Structure 1
């Protein structure tokens, strides 16, 4: 009794699972040919275990039924033409289906004829009894006798046909199975998408195993007149009923068979697990009740009630465990979009390359959502043009399409833009590429790009769940694009800092490492770049044993270009200065060199003087630089103006020189505009006059002290200023 109940329960649960899966698949996409064919196949497959379960648990004695009623069972064999049709449309419609669609529909005729034959025409003698005529009637009796003979001949033919048909119809089912296996293998070989290939493999394996077991249990023994034990046959059928529906259910739950939505998949699992728990619960109650009754007799009813109460207490905890198990399956399953977004987000965190980003998105959507093609178009920085990945051409987007995408900020089907796309624009190009769905990438109200999706493979449709996921993916992509932009900016900043460090090193190497030492003069110098690299430069050139060249220059620009120009200037001065050419000639030559080798925005202001440290004679030239001055011992100030225009700006400039004598206690101050133009919080410049007065305050001290005193005073003056310019100062004092 218990085993029969368990077998009936397995049949019944298998039937319900097949019916449930058929309903879910059909409801998911009623218009899809695939969904309708698969639903029909599963429905007819579910009829067999359902009718068997009814016979075993309800009817019990099927011999009491007429043969016609019993033969209604054969309706389930419409499963075989449905299987053949399924094999031509799954996973994708084969060319054979497209060319011979009508022929495949005709494949149902033999089974329909078979059902009519075994249900309505299974007893020829009964039919003859119904159609008996009175042949003794005058005139027409001989006609009726003739008709009766023909009918008898026809019913005899039906009898022979029924006998032959019943025995050999299994060959037709067997042929359908072989054709189905062939078409399934053909369809499987054409699948490229890895996720689709996995689900197809699971479904085909389950269907082939289940049908194969049925063939071995019934069809082959019928054809070859082989007798199998009823127990072995029952085991084969039960295994087929577990493997077949189980593989399809597993493909739906784990691999989104036919792109079934998450809610439907969860509902299927809850239904199946609930059925198993309830079935097991009823089985345990029945068995324990039988055990108590056989052991204690009819007086043990109180024990039955006690067993029911105990099982009820344990039912909810067991069901909760099943519920937790189901949730764990879906949280960890790749078919759950929550899990997909978690994995997707982890990947995007470490992506700092746009090409890599587009590849990850395209591969993920292809693998997890069965999308054939994905095209990315991103707005080019600083323009209104968009460029597709891998395409050098740039496209402007149609204004109407742009406004709709920014306004909706969610996936939009391309059909919505019918009549708005124009050739040569982004929308027109999308039509050429076969786009189907547009997913905008909107950041702070601006359309920074979009990705365009083709239709899904195997004719799957975009569900509400898909569109919601794509909106989340778009937000993730926008965040990732911003991260990439920040990363690129940080790289650019890092490269700039590295360049500035190189330039700083160049600049430091250009500055003299030691000050000139002479008996009659002392020297001091200071250089401060406002940024990592400044444009100021000073140097001392050893012209001869008695003379030294003093250079203070300000190179236009900042960073590496300014440092390189400064290095070039220093090399020229060191080379030419030691040759002792006339100063005015050297300036003209340097000017022509810079004019011919640099752009007009690159120029230099420079003061150069040669000091004879024995005689005190200073011959100098000033090329547009801040005017140096000499504070005489009597506090008179003399300015060193003679020279010419800035270097590197104009061709053919002529320069002049002038001379003066630097006597004992005279102070020569050469500076750049960073000192004289330093501003305080009231936007007042420090000015040349303050420089003179500050230098006078310390005139009795050493050159080094005077230099430090000037710098300290300027910094105090501009201490509240937001930013200070480069500062360079050279002080020479006679002694």
Structure 2
């Protein structure tokens, strides 16, 4: 029983350690810390794997194997020099490593020599038995006999030295463990970033605990000749093998140790879940089989088959259950970029004080995203930028740089330092970048105007920026642009009207989010009308110019009214502008927006939304309707079509799949998009204006200019309501193919 438990625990621990080793190396093989950590975990994983082979294969076989085969187990002790090397470069390179880095790699030499000795001189008696040399020639026989005796004494001397060496080599391992612990402690004290401190603390506690248990169970008894109960020794090993990998996995998934990507951390959680379930399954099934044999004897084949069927049925639900627990335990908080984005969005949208907003932005980059030397530059006065630094907390000024502004104005994505025309920049800008050791610039563009930029230094982890970083930076930048616009609008309104009502302010914020002008194109005409039922409504629309002769048009209706609806619209548009520039298909963009909105956990905040992309070159229109009123497409030949393809409304349910449809546009086609305030406008008898009446009105007056056609529709709605005020927001968006 004990051998079975030990084999399973050893196998699980070894598999997790080697899995972690492979993931860390594959994630960034060019990084020194990744390579060293991977090697350290690999050698740590060989110990439980070899122990599994010993307890599961060698012991049950009952055969006698060569001693050198058992001594292969000593290969895992290469973990100790790897541990020293790891502690010398994490979290920062130790001063002794910078001076004598070759000495740290030379720390492997004693263990390599030790491994060779225990492998090739493992059995002196076997070697002695082969040193008996005889000859038929008397003189030569005497000489060979003398040489044989000499070699035997040499081998016996080596055997005695080997026994002493094996007994006291543990002192070297103990010394390595102490040195590594001291280095880790010194590294922890040199770190100032709170998240990196938590990484170091977690890893230090885990490795120290695991190594401490091994020292207590093996090294100390070996050195001082102390006999320990085998069960206590095995218990210490099991705890150490659980604690060591567990703390490292916790640091990777919860505190983003080594900056492992989120998708890799999620895969790691699933892999660990699978390993745990499989190990538990093998242990339970083995014990259950023994119980059946003890009760029913040997003829339990049918019962074993039934047991296997039951186990297969419950395997996947149990796996999903454990995977869910581990995900909630490990991948949350700062480990999940979705949580960071959610928290950032909630804070910055509601922050209208510019100083508080900037403080929150720099805090997010410094503490949540582990970026060193982050700064935010915002135009403050004519010819000047105010530069807010996360490192110093000070505000400095920098002269306006026309070259940098022109460069950033045409870029939407973060720009690495190598792509920045540094020689062409002004001296003050170059000095600013040098002072903050800038590695990346994030432009903050709003309606073809640069409202600032963010400069980022190196990561606290010392690793480079990856695609996952660029994605989150872009989303944060889009939200920040809206937040800065809102904050500035708030400050301007306070200067003009100190006692201005809250709803009026929110209305202006919402208007800032709407397009300032209609698109201009020689093959299309556009017209929009929007009237909220209150100071701030839930209707919104947008036109977004895209690359490759594409134009995105959209209209939506957010749940609620007033400020809550305005904030939901602001968040919706931030996400929309982020995904519009991506290469995803239309239905994939809508699905992404829905997943982000629904992740807030507030299903009462939903949006009906219609989104389409016009290909002005191919004259096509691909759209997706997410629970919105069906737009009406009147064809030039007199036909009528409702654009219904899509899916459910946005924000209520996560993981919804959407579909899109492609429409060929021809001259004379007229598309009318509207919100429910148009068709649900009621008269005194509470009879709605209705979709049918709207279609007839558009068909009979389709040749009118768009602005006249909209006026005709609005006049008809007002006549229908007989002076009764609109009960909901009323928005119409039209475009005609010329």
> Which range, TM-score by smaller chain?
0.5 to 0.7
Quick one: which of 432, 436, 444 aligns to 1:441? 444
2:25 matches 1:42:
no
Q: Deviations over 1:440-480 (max 9, x none)?
A: 11111222211101111241222211111111111111111
1:139 to partner: Cα distance: 9.3
Equivalent residue of 1:451, what SS?
A: strand
- Cα distance in 1 for residues equivalent to 2:130 and 2:301: 55
* Equivalent residue in structure 2 for 1:470, among 468, 473, 492: 473
CA distance in 2, matches of 1:281, 1:393: 64
* Aligned counterpart, 1:58: 57
Residues 225, 488 of structure 1: alpha-carbon distance in 2 compared, 3 angstrom cutoff: same
Conserved 8 A contact 1:398-1:426: no
How far has the Cα of 1:494 moved from its partner? 1.4
Alpha-carbon deviation of 1:131? 5.7
Q: How does 1:275-354 map to 2 (within 5 A)?
A: 275-329=275-329, 332-354=332-354
CA distance in 2, matches of 1:340, 1:141: 84
CA–CA distance in 2 between the matches of 1:62 and 1:224?
A: 31
How many Å separate the matches in 2 of 1:412 and 1:150? Answer: 74
**Which piece of structure 1 moves more, 336-345 or 426-435?**
426-435
Kept in 1, the 8 Å contact 2:36–2:82? The answer is: yes
Corresponding residue of 2:272: 272
Farther-moved stretch of structure 1 (265-274 vs 277-286): 277-286
Q: What is the match of residue 246 of structure 1?
A: 246
Q: CA deviation at 1:145?
A: 6.9
Runs of 4+ in structure 1 displaced over 4 angstroms?
Answer: 128-150
1:85-124 matches, cutoff 5 A: 85-124=85-124
Q: State the alpha-carbon separation in 1 of the partners of residues 328 and 90 from structure 2.
A: 30
| Corresponding position of 2:625 | none
C-alpha contact (below 8 Å) 1:370/1:457 kept by paired residues: yes
User: In structure 1, what is the Cα distance between the partners aligned to 2:156 and 2:306?
Assistant: 64
Whole-Å separation in 2 of the counterparts to 1:284 and 1:378: 63
CA contact (8 A) 1:387 1:395 kept: no
SS where residue 427 of structure 2 aligns? coil
Correspondence 1:161 to 2:165: no
Q: What is the Cα deviation at residue 281 of structure 1?
A: 2.3
Given that residues 8 and 53 in structure 1 are in contact (C-alpha distance below 8 angstroms), is that contact kept between their aligned partners in structure 2?
A: yes
Residue in 1 that maps onto 2:189: 189
Structure 2: distance between partners of 1:342 and 1:267: 22
Alignment of 1:359 onto 2:359:
yes
TM-score by length of 1: 0.64
Gaps of 5+ in 2: 389-393, 502-738
Q: Could you list the per-position Cα deviations for residues 482-514 of structure 1 after superposition, in whole angstroms to 9, with x for gaps in the alignment? A: 11011112201213989xxxxxxxxxxxxxxxx
- In the alignment, is residue 426 of structure 1 matched against residue 429 of structure 2? yes
Q: Report the counterpart of residue 397 of structure 1 in structure 2.
A: 401
Instruction: Note if 1:494 corresponds to 2:497.
Output: yes
Structure 2 Cα separation of the partners of residues 296 and 497 of structure 1? 85
Relative distance call for 1:134 and 1:350 in structure 2 (3 A) is same
Distance 2:143 2:473 in 1: 78
Structure 2 Cα separation of the partners of residues 202 and 461 of structure 1 = 23
Greater CA drift, 424-433 or 143-152: 143-152
Normalization by structure 2: what TM-score? 0.63
2:682 alignment partner in structure 1:
none
Q: How far apart are residue 93 of structure 1 and its match?
A: 1.0
Aligned-partner SS, 2:371: coil
Which residue does 1:600 correspond to in 2? none
Map of 1:666-677 to 2, 5 A cutoff? none
Contact 1:15 1:46 in 2 (8 A): yes
> Residue 28 of structure 1 corresponds to which residue in structure 2?
27
Q: Which SS does the other structure have where 2:438 is aligned?
A: coil
Q: 1:396 to 1:164 in 2, by over 3 A?
A: same
Offset at 1:298? 3.8
Q: Is contact 1:397–1:427 with CA below 8 Å preserved after alignment?
A: no
SS at match of 1:376: strand
The answer to whether structure 1 residue 234 and structure 2 residue 234 are counterparts is: yes
The offset of 1:20, in angstroms, is 0.6
Given the superposition, is the C-alpha separation of residues 109 and 305 from structure 1 closer, same or farther in structure 2, using an over 3 Å criterion? same
The alpha carbon displacement at 1:349 in A equals 2.4
Q: Deviations over 1:128-163 (max 9, x none)?
A: 555665677699888867765654453233122101
Matches of 2:238 and 2:329, distance apart in 1: 26
- 2:401 and 2:147 map into 1 onto residues whose CA distance is 82
- Whether the 8 Å contact between 1:17 and 1:272 is mirrored in structure 2 is yes
C-alpha distance in 2, partners of 1:137/1:452? 89
Q: Deviation of residue 418 (structure 1)? A: 5.2
In structure 1, runs of 5+ residues without a counterpart are: 499-735
1-structure distance, mates of 2:320, 2:500: 60
User: Number of residues paired by the alignment?
Assistant: 495
User: In 1, Cα distance between the equivalents of 2:139 and 2:440?
Assistant: 80
2:47 alignment partner, SS class: helix
The worse-fitting range, judged by mean Cα deviation, of 440-449 and 388-397 is 388-397
Kindly name which structure, 1 or 2, has the bigger radius of gyration based on alpha carbons.
Answer: 1
Q: Is this contact kept in 2: 1:11–1:53, CA < 8 A?
A: yes
SS for the counterpart of 2:174 is helix
Deviation at 1:427, TM superposition (A): 4.5
Distance in structure 2 (CA, Å) of the matches to 1:391 and 1:320: 50
TM-superposition CA deviations, 1:691-727 (whole Å, max 9, x none): xxxxxxxxxxxxxxxxxxxxxxxxxxxxxxxxxxxxx
Match of 1:455 among 437, 458, 461: 458
SS at match of 2:399: strand
Aligned ranges 1:142-181 → 2 under 5 Å: 151-181=151-181
Distance 2:40 2:199 in 1: 18
SS in 2 for 1:344: helix
Distance 1:173 1:44 in 2: 14
Q: What is the alpha-carbon root mean square deviation over aligned residues?
A: 2.5
- Identify if the C-alpha distance between structure 1 residues 22 and 421 changes in structure 2 by more than 3 Å, giving closer, same or farther: farther
Kept in 2: contact 1:398–1:427 (CA 8 A): no
Offset from partner CA, 1:668-708 (integer Å, 9 cap, x none): xxxxxxxxxxxxxxxxxxxxxxxxxxxxxxxxxxxxxxxxx
| 1:313–1:152 CA distance, 2 compared to 1 (3 A) | closer
Distance 2:17 2:158 in 1: 35
Aligned partner of residue 334 in structure 1, secondary structure = helix
Q: Judge conservation of contact 2:254–2:331 (CA < 8 Å) in 1.
A: no
CA drift of 1:207 comes to 0.6
Deviations 1:195-226 (A, max 9, x none): 11112111100111110010010010111110
Please list the CA deviations of residues 92-128 of structure 1 after superposition, one character each: whole Å capped at 9, or x if unmatched: 1111111111111111111111100000122334335
What whole-Å deviation, never above 9, does each CA across 1:178-200 have from its counterpart, x for those lacking one?
11111111111111111111121
Q: Per-residue deviation at 1:17?
A: 0.4
| Change beyond 3 A, Cα 1:306–1:135 | closer
